[in-house]
Amino acid sequence: MGIDLRVTGEWGEWRNSSHSNQLAICRFLLLREIDKIPVRFPLQTSMEAQSVKALRWAGSLACRGFNHPHLMIYQLNSIDHPLLAPYQSINRKKWSRYADLFIGEGRFVVERMLESDYEVVSVVLGDQAADHFRDRIPESVDVIHLERSLVSQLVGFDFHSGVIACARRRRLRSLQEHAHIIDKDPSTLVICPFTVLPDNLGSIIRLCSGFGAEAIVVGHRSANPFSRRAIRVSMGNVFHLPIFEPYSITAALQTLRDEFGYCIVAATGAPDAMTLPMPRPARRVAIVLGNEAEGISTEWLGKCDMQVSIPMAGTTDSLNVANATAVLLYQFLRVEGSFPAE
């Protein structure tokens, strides 16, 4: 039996899960720029009226303001829709650390998210960002249009960037299982066992990407590298730099030294540490960074092959951890002649 109807209708919630397959077909058809849709799939007579209602509901979700030939754009007037559930949890730190989804905001961050190989689930657009993004979003991504006041209510802060997106997180736990990333010569890694401030971690990620480090290793006591703040400070470089989150930093350091031949370098302010400038100590180097207040623990220092410090003047005894990372990466990756011979 076939149904021939024009896909129109006002917003209305359709909650009958038994018709999810019809809704999926509706979504597929709507993506094909067809105004009058002949829908042909087996229907029992008793279900025909319900299926027509489902079709009209699905059609009403096509955004009336941003007609687009390839995108399904949801025009919502409430923040209670299930599609918006991930955004409602944006400020819950515990949820965001262990959730499978993460949130990115702002034009440059979302652009880089869409260009990456992360699976983007949905994008929320305000009026000011619609024209810029609607030709950049793949067909597989749900596009949601909300008025600015509703988005501010949804995320809990004033929404002025015009775009926010949700993607699926990938977790790299085992160094051995992803040896192709670190088994390179030369290679530089940065280890953050206990970097607690998202701003610092985001800056370090951006520096690693900019100077050409192969990857960053983040301990479970560190800030969440996929928190909204860390992503924003990284300027979206988090999507293009491998980020390992091992269960044990101590075990990871042991693996890097014993199985992959890395020289483990601790960045400290110890008086007996070697000071910059200095040649790169090995072709494979892993730089261990300390906590903002406590430095590097004795346990992690015990896994390091050497300590390196940046000389200070006056009464200053150290740099911010992100600033120190910039100096170390520049010395070991950019200074001419710093690489030892093969």
Q: 172 by DSSP, 3-state: which?
A: strand
Q: What is the pLDDT of residue 91?
A: 62
β-bridge partners, 62: 74
Which residue, among 139, 14, 146, 10, has the nearest Cα to 75 in the 3D structure?
A: 146
DSSP 216: E
pTM, full prediction = 0.79
pLDDT band at 148 (very low <50, low <70, confident <90, very high): confident
* 167 vs 21, residue with greater confidence: 167
Element (DSSP H or E) covering residue 102 = strand 101-105
Q: How far is CA 54 from the centre of its chain?
A: 34
Domains of the chain: 2-62 (no CATH), 82-168 (3.30.1330.30), 176-333 (3.40.1280.10)
Looking at residue 342, its pLDDT comes to: 61
Residue 59 and residue 56: Cα distance in Å, rounded? 5
pLDDT band for position 145 (50/70/90)? Answer: confident
**pLDDT (tens digit per residue) in 212-243:** 999 999 999 999 999 999 999 999 999 999 99
Residue 20 reports pLDDT greater than 50: no
Query: Is the per-residue pLDDT at 155 higher than 90?
Result: no
Higher pLDDT, 85 or 341: 85
- Measured from the Cβ of residue 9, the count of other Cβ atoms closer than 10 Å reads 16
What are the residues whose beta carbons fall under 8 Å from the beta carbon of 239, sequence distance 6 or more? 112, 113, 115, 116, 118
Task: Output 261 or 26, whichever has higher pLDDT.
Answer: 261
Task: Identify the DSSP state of 260.
Answer: T
At residue 137, does pLDDT exceed 80?
yes
Mean pLDDT of 112-127: 92
Q: Answer yes or no: are the C-beta atoms of 207 and 325 closer than 8 Å.
A: yes
Mean pLDDT in the chain? Answer: 80
DSSP 322: H
- Exposed, middle or buried by CB within 10 Å (0-12, 13-18, 19+), for 117? exposed
Cα dihedral 213, 240, 217, 201 sign: positive
pLDDT at 94 over 50: yes
Average pLDDT over residues 322-338: 89
Measure the CA dihedral 102/104/109/112, to 10°: 30
Spatial neighbors of 126 by CB under 8 A, at least 6 apart, are 145, 146, 147, 148, 151, 159, 162, 163
Kind plus residue range of the DSSP H or E element containing 4: strand 2-6
